[in-house]
């Protein structure tokens, strides 16, 4: 929605988290003749009951569109409708934050005027100033929540991976996939679709979009030893970023420098440290079976694995098969999905796994120190969302790191 269309409107901002606060500040500055009211679930569970009293609702991503029954827009749509900059949208079930950050690093290394915004933590309207130009390049991480009702496509759409997630929000896997694929729904022949052809759904999407479909480059222009990221999936993330950088004619030297000095994002296969001979990895971002399987495949000699959390009905069968073939013997299980995971483990070889049920991260880490052999790894990668125990994956990962370091330091003093 164009700024002039927002003028003289009585606007309801629904949801007052970070994006809601930024939206309020943006509209107050750039649409000063509008009237703004704020509502949020934490203040009143019936916060949406009065929506029909307003000319327009600006909905936060966390509110499903089915809950809004009056004309509405989103901060994402306001940004795309008004920017004159070059937009790069990055999505995927996992890997989108790392890929977006890599693209940003490569373009910045080349001296371009680039901004990193979106779901990664900086709302688009916080960085956007009306009157920008094509020289402003916005790398936008886009979640399925933001794409579910998007009305524009980025100039360059990057699709990293696709497997079931957020089904409670979208109402099913098909609706989730359709929301993700909307990233190219409004693309034209002058736009680009950069995709990972390891996923057949993305190959099919590439065959029907109007954008120029370009698969990830097949090879990286530098040796693996210089890559500061673990796992094949991170090689895929880098390949996706390199493909985008090549569209901007970024030199191989600048790409290499950006990757070589890239600092892995927190809670993504992050090595917390080695204590008592045990390597501790924080992969709190992995909240689906598929992403946890990638973690297992990336880390050698895992002795203890932390699994479980909010139960969204995921199929853990392939994950449990991999746990068995990877010879992981110690399993910490958190509620609620931990009970279903245990039943699958016991069907494999009852008694073959040492299992510890808890909802206390401190006790979980104590168990890991007591049962993980020196030379092996302990990995927090729960294959389930965090909300049954923690407020988000960041809190989960922070607590894991806190207790790993606490008991590691205490152990070094004995």
Q: How far apart are CA 89 and CA 212, in angstroms?
A: 15
Please, are residues 397 and 282 in contact by the beta-carbon 8 Å criterion?
A: yes
Please give the order of strands across the beta sheet that includes 377-380: 270-275, 278-282, 377-380, 302-307, 330-333, 354-357
Residue 94 known to bind ligand:
yes
According to the annotation, is 93 in a ligand binding site? yes
Give, for 97, the enclosing helix (H) or strand (E): helix 96-109
Is 402 flagged in the annotation as binding?
no
For residues 82 and 38, is the Cβ–Cβ distance under 8 A?
no
Find, among 92, 86, 192, 97, the residue nearest to 132 by Cα: 86
Is 121 annotated in a binding site? The answer is: no
Residue 134 CA to chain centroid, in angstroms?
A: 27
Query: Can you tell me the distance from the alpha carbon of 290 to that of 287, in angstroms, rounded to the nearest whole number?
Result: 9
C-alpha span between 406 and 305 (Å, rounded):
19
Q: Is 97 annotated as a binding residue?
A: yes
92 known member of a binding site: yes
**Closest of 303, 289, 280, 312 to residue 399, by C-alpha:** 280
Q: Is 96 annotated as a binding residue?
A: yes
Q: CA 16 → CA 41, 60, 294, distances in Å? A: 9, 8, 35
**DSSP class of residue 206?**
H
How are beta strands 10-14 and 35-39 bridged, if at all?
parallel
- Cite the annotated binding site for ATP by residue number: 92-98
- Cite the annotated binding site by residue number: 92-98
């Amino acid at each position: 929605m164009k700024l002039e269309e927002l003028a003289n409107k009585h606007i309801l901002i629904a949801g007052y988290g970070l994006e809601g606060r930024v939206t309020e500040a943006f509209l107050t500055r750039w649409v000063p003749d509008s009237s703004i009211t704020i509502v949020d679930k934490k203040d009143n569970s019936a916060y949406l009951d009065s929506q029909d009293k307003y000319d327009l609702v600006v909905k936060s991503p966390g509110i499903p569109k089915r809950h809004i029954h009056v004309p509405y827009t989103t901060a994402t749509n306001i940004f795309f409708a008004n920017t004159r900059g070059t937009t790069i949208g990055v999505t995927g079930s996992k890997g989108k934050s790392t890929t977006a950050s890599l693209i940003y690093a490569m373009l910045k290394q080349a001296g371009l005027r680039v901004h990193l915004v979106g779901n990664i933590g900086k709302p688009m309207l916080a960085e956007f100033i009306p009157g920008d130009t094509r020289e402003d390049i916005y790398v936008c991480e886009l979640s399925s929540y933001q794409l579910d009702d998007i009305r524009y496509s980025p100039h360059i759409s990057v699709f990293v991976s696709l497997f079931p997630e957020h089904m409670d929000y979208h109402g099913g896997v098909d609706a989730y996939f359709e929301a993700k694929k909307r990233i190219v729904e409004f693309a034209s022949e002058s736009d680009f679709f950069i995709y990972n052809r390891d996923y057949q759904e993305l190959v099919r999407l590439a065959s029907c979009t109007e954008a120029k479909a370009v698969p990830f480059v097949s090879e990286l222009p530098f040796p693996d030893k210089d890559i500061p990221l673990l796992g094949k999936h991170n090689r895929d993330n880098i390949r996706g970023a390199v493909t985008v950088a090549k569209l901007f004619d970024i030199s191989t030297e600048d790409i290499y420098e950006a990757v070589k000095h890239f600092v892995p994002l927190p809670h993504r296969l992050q090595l917390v440290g080695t204590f008592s001979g045990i390597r501790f990895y924080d992969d709190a971002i992995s909240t689906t079976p598929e992403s946890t399987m990638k973690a297992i495949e990336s880390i050698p000699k895992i002795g203890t694995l932390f699994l479980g959390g909010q139960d969204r009905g995921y199929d853990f069968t392939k994950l449990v098969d991999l746990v068995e073939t990877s010879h992981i013997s110690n399993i910490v299980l958190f509620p609620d999905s931990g009970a279903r995971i245990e039943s699958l483990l016991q069907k494999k070889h009852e008694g073959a796994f040492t299992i510890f049920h808890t909802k206390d991260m401190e006790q979980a880490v104590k168990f890991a120190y007591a049962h993980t052999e020196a030379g092996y790894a302990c990995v927090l990668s729960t294959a389930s969302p965090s909300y049954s125990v923690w407020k988000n994956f960041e809190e989960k990962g922070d607590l894991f790191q806190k207790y790993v370091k606490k008991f590691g330091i205490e152990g070094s003093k004995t």
